[in-house]
Amino acid sequence: MSGTEQVSEQTTVATLKDQIVTLLRLSPGLTDREITDRLFGLGVAQQATNQAARALAAALHIVRRPRQDGKLGNYPADMDAPEPQRSLVMENGQSEILSEDKVKRSLKAWLEASGWEVSVIWGRAPGIDLERREMAGAG
């Protein structure tokens, strides 16, 4: 190579933030753990991903919001993210959709229909919430 020849080689290395945005365009809603697993492999520490995702959110490049499973998902800012599912809340502040007593009532009915005798402690009283016994004479 003579002194007058110049070799120009450009190498583009995507930053972690660039990689995250690219991945989220392909798979919106990933958690920081899921992003880390896909970019670096299972079980790799996710602190760097978390810091980059927070910086991207602060710069309004991505939106971080709860998914329907309650985990924090990351979405490209220019893409519509699904609204988190909200439960109905009654006047007393308890959830109508999955109240403890509603679950107990449903389970009690199912067990009784399956031939079991069931005792239930309603509300948040201490003790075993639900106890099943075979009906006398069954079996």
Q: Are residues 64 and 101 in the same domain?
A: no
| Residue 82 domain flag | no
46 pLDDT higher than 70: yes
| Residue 96 domain flag | yes
78: its two tokens: 């220019």
| pLDDT top residue among 105 and 41 | 41
pLDDT-based confidence at residue 121 (cuts at 50, 70, 90): confident
Q: Do 115 and 135 form a contact (C-beta atoms < 8 A)?
A: yes
| Residue 81 domain flag | no
| Residue 112 domain flag | yes
Domain count, the chain: 2
Q: Are residues 93 and 63 in the same domain?
A: no
Q: Are residues 66 and 91 in the same domain?
A: no
Tell me how far apart the alpha carbons of residues 124 and 63 are, in angstroms, rounded to a whole number.
38
Handedness of CA 59, 65, 67, 72 (dihedral sign): positive
For the chain, the maximum distance between any two Cα atoms, rounded to a whole number of angstroms, is: 102
Closest CA to 135 of 107, 115, 120, 108: 115
Q: What percent of the chain has pLDDT over 90?
A: 40
Structural domain boundaries enclosing 127: 87-139
Q: Are residues 72 and 112 in the same domain?
A: no
Q: Are residues 100 and 58 in the same domain?
A: no
| Residue 62 domain flag | yes
* Of the listed ranges 46-55, 57-66, 85-94, the one predicted with least confidence: 85-94
| Cβ-based neighbours of 53, under 8 Å, separated by 6 or more | 20, 32, 35, 62, 64, 74
Q: What CATH code is carried by the domain that includes residue 65?
A: 1.10.10.10
93 pLDDT higher than 50: yes
pTM as predicted: 0.52
